Amino acid sequence: FPDPALLSHRHLDKGNRSNEQTMDIPASTLDRGEIETTVREAIGATLGKSTFLHAKVDGWIAKVMETCLKRLAQSAKQYKYVVTCQIMQNAGAGACVTSTNSR
């Protein structure tokens, strides 16, 4: 997990980008250890010692994401959470992953 001194929260007023406001939230208000534990427990409870089965991947991803979001929402912190999950078979091949944030 990244450990920035401040996280930036952006609010777009009715989709009008010219009214973009930024509010700095001290990173200390987020408990990194609690989030990491939540994610690890969700993955462990879902996958356990399962063998990779392509037919089950979509279900596993849905369950991991749902569990993480429920537990984060129960933490009573007033944030919006975004959870992403990717499950790949460890077959010795490399992986190339890219992401963009288009506004």
Note down pLDDT in tens along the chain; length 103 residues. Answer: 333 333 344 433 444 444 445 555 555 567 888 889 999 999 999 999 999 999 999 999 999 999 999 998 887 677 888 888 988 888 877 777 776 666 5
> Is residue 38 packed enough to be buried (19+ CB in 10 Å), middle (13-18) or exposed (0-12)?
buried
Three-state SS string over 5-17 comes to CEEEEEEEECCEE
In this prediction the pTM is: 0.62
